[in-house]
Amino acid sequence: MLLGYKEWTWDETEVEWDEECPHCEEDYPCEWSYDQYADWKIGELLPELSASLMDLGWEYGIATGYVGWMNSFGHTQVQEVNSVFLKYMVFDTINDSNITATLDFTHVESGVIKLRRSHHDRPMGETIYIFRVENEDDIEEIYEEELYKNKYWTKLYDLGLEERPKEYKVVR
């Protein structure tokens, strides 16, 4: 757990209208309500989360997964795991204002954060894994695509986050 959170969720349906606010309509939050929600989540909570991650040895990370409307595989460059990176991972969808995202910290001490998000290109959701990059050898392996895929996907299989693909033999 991180700061007492098993997971951190961004979901704008949590925003409630304020009956004392002159701009809110009944059962419909105003723009300021959304701004307040964003200020708290992005302005206060993400920096706290990134500071806690640094304390756990999460200085650098890389994110990987099958994303976008083509469900294509990709990974980011190695980046510093800070509030800017976390914000980028949660909100990096093109022209989308209806994002729901959850950062799952269940396996954070094993070096994996699971991000589940949905947006206009993937309304049923997509899963992205953020891996802790521990040393320079890991960074070099990342650029050797097959070594990278095997190492990190094996980690997901070992943690039970992904199911290992079944092997099939063709018999003639």
Q: Which tens digit of pLDDT belongs to each residue from 81-122?
A: 998 888 888 876 555 556 788 889 999 999 999 999 887 777
Cβ atoms of 23 and 95 closer than 8 Å: no
Q: Sign of the CA dihedral 47, 53, 58, 62?
A: negative
Looking at residue 151, its pLDDT comes to 77
C-alpha pair distances (Å), 96 with each of 23, 68, 118, 129: 24, 12, 10, 21
C-alpha pair distances (Å), 31 with each of 37, 96, 107, 155: 10, 16, 35, 42
Q: Which tens digit of pLDDT belongs to each residue from 31-85?
A: 777 777 778 778 888 888 889 999 998 998 888 887 766 767 777 788 889 988 8
pTM of the predicted structure, to 2 decimals: 0.76
